[in-house]
Amino acid sequence: FRFKDSLAEDLQSADLVISHAGAGSCLETLEKGKPLIVVINDKLMDNHQLELAKQLHRDGYVLYCNCSTLVETLQSMDLSALKPFPPGQPEKFASFLDKVFELQ
């Protein structure tokens, strides 16, 4: 895709999402309950995308690969093995901030 203001409509209609490993892209896709294959850019320095992809994979939420292994990943994937991503709990974060800043 070229730049779009929102991918929400595309995500809603998708059966599978293949994305880079940006945190926003990953979380938005997982929150929509869509299976996700994360394609990392292994040429990046200090590759936080790889770290995120590995952790989400270890937790059972995504499959990940690089460009050269994407076809193999698509051919061997078992999407039923992926776990649903748990919903966010913003109230816990708000409570944490209240305690840190002594607002309660």
**Which CATH number fits the domain that encloses residue 35?**
3.40.50.2000
Q: Which domain holds residue 84?
A: 7-95
48 located within any domain: yes
Residue 85 lies inside a defined structural domain of this protein: yes
Average pLDDT over residues 10-25: 93
Question: Model pTM?
Answer: 0.81
User: How confident is the model at residue 45, as a pLDDT?
Assistant: 65
Q: Is residue 64 part of a domain?
A: yes
Long-range contacts of 86-91 (CB under 8 A, 24+ apart): 87/31, 88/31
Cβ–Cβ < 8 Å for 30, 62: yes
Report the SS3 class of residue 8.
Answer: helix
Q: What is the pLDDT of residues 18-67, one digit of tens each?
A: 999 889 999 999 999 999 999 998 777 677 888 899 999 999 999 999 99
- In-domain check, residue 13: yes
Is 103 contained in some domain? Answer: no
The band of 104, judged by pLDDT with boundaries at 50, 70 and 90, is low
Tell me, what's the pLDDT at 103? 72
Q: Of all residues in the chain, what percent carry a pLDDT higher than 70?
A: 97
SS3 11: helix
Residue 31 lies in a domain: yes
Q: How many domains does the chain fold into?
A: 1
Confirm whether 77 is domain-assigned. Answer: yes
Question: Mean pLDDT for the chain?
Answer: 90
Asked whether residue 2 is assigned to any structural domain, the reply reads no
Give the separation between CA 3 and CA 17, rounded to whole angstroms.
17
For residue 65, the surrounding DSSP H or E stretch is: strand 63-66
